[in-house]
Amino acid sequence: MRIIQVKKNQSLFDIAVQEYGSFYGVHWIVEDNEDINSVLDNVFESDTLLMRDDVMNGQVKKHLSSFTIATINDAVRTSGIGFWAIEKDFEIQ
């Protein structure tokens, strides 16, 4: 077992995919951390979690390890007709 620290805006599902290569790993997180009661529990920045050394999908974990962790809050808002909201981004005349 090893210990990881939760990053800002991460969910249990984010961590499961990052650490185990599958969102099914969220069940392992719940089993191994007594402070977490459900897959729907919130975790907060700087919380520590116990992680198994096992991996569910090594290819996904390896692929994701080459990227910097980002959340939706870090994303740049796209624009264009496919992303505009009526009455919010433009007016119909």
Q: Where are the alpha helices (DSSP H) in the chain?
A: 12-20, 26-32, 58-64
- Name the residue ranges covered by the structural domains of the chain: 2-74
CB–CB of 17/60 below 8 Å? yes
Split at pLDDT 50, 70, 90, the class of 81 is low
Does residue 52 or residue 88 have the better pLDDT?
52
CB–CB of 47/12 below 8 Å? no
Q: Is 81 helix (H, G, I), strand (E, B) or coil?
A: coil
Tens-digit pLDDT profile for residues 14-70: 999 999 999 999 999 999 999 999 999 999 999 999 999 999 999 998 888 887 766
